[in-house]
Chains A and B, each alone.
Chain A
């Protein structure tokens, strides 16, 4: 009898250009429309044609937070996909492939994996008149073996091929339907995992971290974005560009990252909410300008989508290796805010907060993500993204009316108790003023000789930095209080840690987690009690040295009892965390 499993993983593997990504995304849509919950995850090589890619869909009848390691069915479009991904197939799982694909069958079947051979190309050619549709045929067959109703696949085909005309839609439908029949009739009986729609068809969203950041930026009133393409940050620039016209956002691809941040600083100083996004290499180039924003007190939001480094590193892989760099990048000491969302919903809310914090505190805000979060998609309820209820806080921005009534001369860098100097935008007759990258006086004029002035202005900026903490959030605690093990992480490892916590508690190991989004200034007063309450503190990070654990030790004096680290370019998974805990013999 078939196991009606409520949690399975499907992987599509093949060369770039074989439709792995688009086919996978389409299939995910079809599953989502059936009310199921998804978590997708993709890995690709740093090349445009050829190479080896996969698109992975985890599907379940409950919300998902992470990918898991085993693959239940692999649809392989190339021999390399079989060789490389075959070993990921679980016992009793299946390998689906076109019958013309040549590979060593024995190597796969030795491991109790079933081989589902199908005439995908032949069907595509006979019924669709084009062998490119082998991909569609494969997706149809996939739906067939898991006995997922064909109508959902048909809907997505109609929707996604609509623009290409009726002939293309009909061709694909015929091919998919035949694939479906072959898959179901020939193999469904011997495949144990089934997925069925949940009945109700609620409107669910399926999106990745970059899209959530882009949506948050639009909601927050971003009016300007400049950037220079770099994986995995580019899709933010593309998202904003595609919404520019509707939402009056000026989008500019610049000559390099130095210009990108400087454009944003120029726009931010003039009064437009400004954003730039890059990855580590580009951020390295932006560093001098980061200090400019700090010294001149200009609001600007910078997304740093990490990938493994140093240098050009591994462009299409993942790592959390830039944290300490982001905290301390640039010479001198100045206020900056560093935030690291871990999920799509946090990406959205963090983007909104980043713009508000940047304007309130008149300083650069760095939002750290990583490749994994930028590309992985999850299903979410639309209520997670309350766009129309976003609060826009422009801080102490003087209106034209307030400036009209101004009695005394306007001081751009007025020394105030909070450290925040009320801001006027250039252009008002009563507020002619200068922004300055050199040390300056309250007017904004160069003043680098007078030690008293230096103490005054550096003191003002430092006060501002210390006060920012009031606006920052404490870490999220998930899982039972007083647990024997506390996993501690930041940013995009949240999902893997959360599922690990659930699995551990289900097996009787009382574990919880502390997840940090707001990292700098370190929310010491709010975080220390939670960290001190941990019986065994295990730092979980996607880097080689445990950067966040170092930070926590420096700020709180608490040393992590263990570290679970991963830096092979692959994201942390719940299984990886649990396995490392067991290896280290950490018991609650």
Chain B
């Protein structure tokens, strides 16, 4: 096992004390260390938001992009260099709201990319507006009478959208979360880990205590992740009891990269560029004779 400290860097963390993002950061580092993935073998992508700062606090390759756009940038990189382990970190507003179209489309493609969504059901960085995952009636500065929209359910959407690894973690249980992230990394294909992440400043409803009273582990409840109907059922469970763990997993499906014939000979980014040969040049010109 790699030392977790390998992934530390000297950057000062700017999250509020007690923020749920700390647990996610620890879980990510621990998962990489346990799997012995070195900092240069992994590349993080994130959007913009409190949670999207996570890669900045790690010693690892990263590209922190713009709000909502981590997934397509990550896909471009994965197609250029599929040797890299690619992990996307998004917020719920970032990944499910502004980036919603990319979320729907990455599931259809099944690239070998891990997607960790820090779901605090609120907009943290812009100071507390409601998010697509906010519960109905949630009162914020932009919804003074309470949100009248139905909360977006990332888990049912993912199962329906074609994702073949769908999990939910809780940042108050980083050990369990690290296991989920390890399973997501080891899963071949797109893997969503939606993480219940308390925002201690702007979300006074979905707090650590709120979750501690409610979460239970699917693996302890005898849930079979291969059973799509059961997964669908668990994905809708919310309220008295909230399931965490792997809801759904199907293995053995080809990844996007594996099906791109141009990638069979290895990553395109690693091939040396040379001027075309005379014969190749002639062939290209002859098409227009």
| Residues of chain A at the chain B interface (Cβ within 8 Å) | 203-207, 211, 215, 218-219, 221, 223-224, 226, 243-245, 247-250, 252, 254-256, 258-259, 262-274, 288-289, 291-292, 296, 382, 385-392, 394, 425-438, 444-446
Contact = CB atoms under 8 A, between A and B. Distances in A.
B73 interface: yes
B139 interface: no
By Cβ-Cβ distance, the 4 closest A-B pairs, closest first, are A266-B76, A387-B281, A271-B269, A263-B76
Given A262-B65, A445-B56, A388 B281 contact: yes
B63 A432 contact: no
5 contacts: A263-B72, A382-B285, A385-B284, A433-B61, A445-B11
Given A427-B43, A429-B40, A438-B64, 6 more contacts: A221-B273, A266-B77, A389-B275, A425-B81, A426-B77, A435-B64
Contact of A254 (B55, B72, B80, B288): B72
Contact of A394 (B63, B273, B284): B273
Interface string B244-278: 00000000000000001111010011110111111
A387 B289 CA distance: 15
Contacts of B62: 434-435, 444
B227 to A, nearest CB: 30
A226 B268 contact: no
Contacts of B270: 271
Q: How large is the interface on B (under 10, 10 to 19, 20 to 34, 35 or more residues)?
A: 35 or more
B160 interface: no
A390 B38 CA distance: 38
B80 A390 contact: no
B61 A266 contact: no
B64 A437 contact: yes
A262 B271 contact: no
Interface of B: 9, 11, 38-41, 43, 45, 48, 53, 55-56, 59-66, 69, 72-81, 83-84, 101-102, 104-105, 260-263, 265, 268-271, 273-278, 280-281, 284-286, 288-289
B256 to A, nearest CB: 9
Contacts of A272: 79-81, 268-269
B43 A426 contact: yes
A234 B139 CA distance: 46
B277 A221 contact: no
A28 to B, nearest CB: 11
Contacts of A221: 273-274
A445 B102 CA distance: 26
Nearest to B109: A252
A341 to B, nearest CB: 17
A394 B101 CA distance: 34
A248 B288 contact: no
A432 B73 contact: no
Given A272-B268, A394-B273, A429 B61 contact: no
A255 B106 CA distance: 9
Contacts of B40: 426-432
A503 B77 CA distance: 52
A373 B260 CA distance: 32
A120 B81 CA distance: 57
B102 A255 contact: yes
A392 B61 contact: no
A205 B288 CA distance: 5
A218 B284 contact: yes
Contact of B284 (A219, A252, A274): A219
Nearest to B74: A266
A270 B104 CA distance: 24
A271 B80 contact: yes
A387 B280 contact: yes
Contacts of A262: 65, 69, 72-73, 76
Contacts of A250: 79-80, 260, 262-263, 268
A389 to B, nearest CB: 7
Contacts of B45: 266
Contacts of A296: 63, 65
A272 B263 CA distance: 12
A215 B283 CA distance: 11
Nearest to A433: B61
Contacts of A223: 80, 268-269, 271, 273
A264 B61 contact: no
A273 B60 contact: no
A438 B98 CA distance: 18
A243 B260 CA distance: 14
A322 B173 CA distance: 53
Nearest to B70: A262
A426 B61 contact: yes
A292 B76 contact: no
Contact of A385 (B84, B273, B285): B285
A263 B61 contact: no
B53 A446 contact: yes
Contacts of B75: 252, 263, 266
B271 A248 contact: yes
A478 B276 CA distance: 32
B289 A267 contact: no
A197 to B, nearest CB: 16
Contact of B77 (A218, A244, A270): A270
A267 B76 contact: yes
Given A387-B276, A427-B83, A266 B72 contact: yes
Contacts of A391: 275
A461 B262 CA distance: 35
Contacts of B38: 429
Given A219-B281, A255-B105, A437-B64, A265 B59 contact: no
Q: Which of B65, B271, B288 gathers the greatest number of chain A CB atoms within 10 Å?
A: B288
B53 to A, nearest CB: 7
Contacts of B43: 426-427
Contacts of B289: 203-206
Given A389-B275, A428-B40, A437 B65 contact: yes
Contacts of A437: 48, 64-66
